[in-house]
Amino acid sequence: MKTAIVTGGSGGIGSAICRMLAENNYFVYVNYSSSKEKAIKLAEEIHGSAIKFDISDREQVNNAINSIGQVDLLINNAGISEINTFDSVSPEKADRILNINLKGTLNCSRAVIPDMIHRKSGVIINISSIWGQCGASCEVDYSASKAGVIGFTKALAKELAPSGIRINCIAPGFIMTDMNSNFSESDLQLIKNDIPLGIFGTPQDIANAVMFFASEKSSFITGQILGVNGGMNI
């Protein structure tokens, strides 16, 4: 049985990814930083294990990943967002967005890579965002962090391809989760009007793309960014 870690595994998209991986015979570590009950409940449901660490804290990440041992698949999914004008975001919040979304992705990848290189095998899948590709007004720090995840994916994919490690990235469009729970009905309708397929995405849509990148069906694919966005960015 292969072992996967899903950061932010208790969240909307993360929990769909965890369930999908478990259905496909992975032992899944459901990472959380504060949602302990949700993570434990999900881990019980999928016969995995909940594991607490803050991805922005390198020491916590290293200790947690060392305690797991071999990791075959890392899904860098945890992230936070903030909707506000650029100059209204507090310096603390701006640092937190970059430290979690970008540095957290780097921290977790750094921790799993030495063993993957040693074994010449492993897969990393990063969850960026459509806003990392296009930029979003009033989500400037978030867009910058997610664009960083795209650059990171491409560079690390080149560096680690000779070691047999594949790194790909998914850029979700608008997916109905808690992250988007603050939008009003009228805002939601306006957003929907910008989606050519005319529907919002679901966490399952992202889990399906993750499963493709995790599987041997994508064995000749690395360093790619897959938009899962209903045609919102073409």
Q: What are the residues binding ligand NAP (CB under 6 A)?
A: 7-8, 10-14, 31-35, 54-56, 77-81, 100, 104, 127, 129, 172, 174-175, 177-180
What span, in angstroms and rounded, lies between the C-alpha atoms of 104 and 77? Answer: 10
Q: Which is nearer to ligand NAP, 72 or 141 (CB)?
A: 141
Q: What's the closest the beta carbon of residue 120 comes to ligand NAP, in angstroms? A: 29
Q: Which is nearer to ligand NAP, 48 or 104 (CB)?
A: 104
Residue 185 burial (CB count, 10 A): 7
Annotated catalytic residue 29: no
Choose the catalytic residue: 26, 29, 32, 142: 142
| Strand residues in 107-147 grouped as ranges (E) | 122-127
Show the tokens assigned to 116: 């993957």
Contacts for 54-62: CB closer than 8 Å, 24+ residues apart: 55/7, 55/8, 55/31, 55/100, 55/104, 55/105, 55/107, 55/108, 56/96, 56/99, 56/100, 56/103, 56/104, 56/107, 57/107, 58/107, 58/110, 61/104, 61/107, 61/108, 61/111, 62/111
Least Cα distance to 226 among 212, 96, 155 occurs for 212
Q: What's the closest the beta carbon of residue 156 comes to ligand NAP, in angstroms? A: 17
Q: Which is nearer to ligand NAP, 54 or 72 (CB)?
A: 54
Q: What's the closest the beta carbon of residue 115 comes to ligand NAP, in angstroms? A: 21
Q: Which is nearer to ligand NAP, 164 or 200 (CB)?
A: 200
Q: What's the closest the beta carbon of residue 118 comes to ligand NAP, in angstroms? A: 26
Q: Active-site positions? A: 142
